[in-house]
Amino acid sequence: MRILVTGATGQVGRHLVAQLHEAGHDVRALSRTPAKADLPTGVEVVAGDLTDAATLGAAFQGVDAIHLITFGGDDDLTNGPEIIDLAARHGITRATVLGGWSPTSIESALESSAIRWTLLQPAEFMCNALEWADEISSQGTVSMLATFPSAMVHEADIAAVAATALTRGGHEGRSYPITGPEALTPAERTRIIAEATGQEIAFVQLLSEDAERARLRGYGYDEDYVEFGIQLATNPSEASGVVLSTVEDVTGTPARTFAQWAREHAERFRTAP
């Protein structure tokens, strides 16, 4: 089957493109800058921008199923009805949607369409730990206010659930919350990264909200996101530490551990000689 992957150069999209391609499917990847996509040989890369449905006709042509993201740039998509109408008119019959914090126009449009779709609701991405790379490599520390455990999930496992839902029946109409196999605190993740890199890394708990604000601003986040981060650190959801078996239930393969993720990305954290 021919499958279109939107968000194909993102953290989940790259894994999904690779997994579908390796399984022998005809994969088409949507990118605003195809020349920079750097996807596997044999994957068709087509230009298009989800924020402008008028650019999507060529990408949707001849496609059986589609993986959709719900944002364009930093903002939620507001043109869901146009995108889903175009998909239906091109005969696309199956979709997966990588959901965010709240529903968008994409989910709303799919609910009133004939397209069979599956919603993916992942927990925190393991790759969020890449934000720590500069501090680890320069200071040998991880500093933050939050101490709560998170059942974060490997991006390749989100992709594996999506690939299964896109290529096998029985997943239509389902919403899949997706976690990793364990809930780890920031201190525990710091220790695991230290083991993967073979170097000492200390976890430093920040003692004030102002210190946490300064840390988040250092990543370039706007004030709304900074305050969201403060709320998350001081009032975490109980669900953040709940481990679910979704990955293995859907794919038949156990979820990847944070230790595996850390080994895969160890070079990003190592101190330069």
Inter-CA distances, 5 with 64, 122, 132, 203, Å:
11, 17, 29, 38
DSSP assignment string, 241-273: G----HHHHHHSSPPPPHHHHHHHTHHHHSPP-
Give yes or no for residue 175 having a pLDDT over 60.
Answer: yes
For residue range 60-113, list pLDDT tens digits in order.
Answer: 999 999 999 999 987 899 999 999 999 999 999 999 999 988 999 999 999 999
Give yes or no for residue 272 having a pLDDT over 60.
Answer: no
Please enumerate in sequence order all residues whose Cβ is within 8 A of that of 153, keeping only pairs 6 or more positions apart, or say none: 122, 123, 124, 125, 126, 178, 179, 180, 247, 255
**Are 69 and 143 part of one and the same domain?**
no
**Are 131 and 260 part of one and the same domain?**
yes
**Are 55 and 109 part of one and the same domain?**
yes
- Of 23, 19, 35, give the one whose Cα is nearest residue 156: 19
Question: What is the CB-side half-sphere exposure of residue 41 using CA atoms within 13 A?
Answer: 0
**Are 195 and 216 part of one and the same domain?**
yes
Which residue blocks in the chain are alpha helix, DSSP H?
13-22, 57-60, 80-89, 105-111, 133-139, 155-167, 186-197, 209-218, 223-234, 246-251, 258-264, 266-269
124-153 mean pLDDT: 96
Band (pLDDT 50/70/90 cuts) for residue 271 is confident
Question: Considering the domain boundaries, does residue 156 fall inside one?
Answer: no
Mean pLDDT of the chain: 96
Q: What is the CATH number of the domain that holds 212?
A: 3.90.25.10
**Are 84 and 217 part of one and the same domain?**
no
Q: Which two tokens stand for residue 16?
A: 């999904």
- Domain count of the fold of the chain: 2
**Are 131 and 261 part of one and the same domain?**
yes
Give yes or no for residue 273 having a pLDDT over 70.
Answer: no
Taking the C-alpha atoms of residue 12 and residue 167, their distance in angstroms, rounded to an integer, is: 17
**Are 201 and 90 part of one and the same domain?**
no
1-27 mean pLDDT: 97
- Of 112, 48, 104, give the one whose Cα is nearest residue 78: 104
Question: Considering the domain boundaries, does residue 220 fall inside one?
Answer: yes
The helix/strand/coil state of 79 is coil
**Are 6 and 62 part of one and the same domain?**
yes
253-260 mean pLDDT: 98
- Determine if residue 256 is left, alpha or beta; phi over 0 gives left, psi from -120 to 50 gives alpha, anything else beta: beta
- Determine if residue 211 is left, alpha or beta; phi over 0 gives left, psi from -120 to 50 gives alpha, anything else beta: alpha
- Of 106, 135, 123, 154, give the one whose Cα is nearest residue 258: 154
**Are 116 and 6 part of one and the same domain?**
yes
Whether the CB-CB separation of 92 and 120 falls below 8 Å is answered with no
**Are 46 and 33 part of one and the same domain?**
yes
Q: At what angle do helices 13-22 and 155-167 cross, to 10 degrees?
A: 50
Taking the C-alpha atoms of residue 170 and residue 201, their distance in angstroms, rounded to an integer, is: 45
pTM metric for this prediction: 0.95
Q: What is the CATH number of the domain that holds 29?
A: 3.40.50.720
**Are 112 and 131 part of one and the same domain?**
no
Band (pLDDT 50/70/90 cuts) for residue 37 is very high
Give yes or no for residue 186 having a pLDDT over 60.
Answer: yes
**Are 109 and 221 part of one and the same domain?**
no
Whether the CB-CB separation of 67 and 7 falls below 8 Å is answered with yes
- DSSP state at residue 171: -
Q: Which residue segment(s) compose the domain that 102 sits in?
A: 2-122
Question: Considering the domain boundaries, does residue 262 fall inside one?
Answer: yes
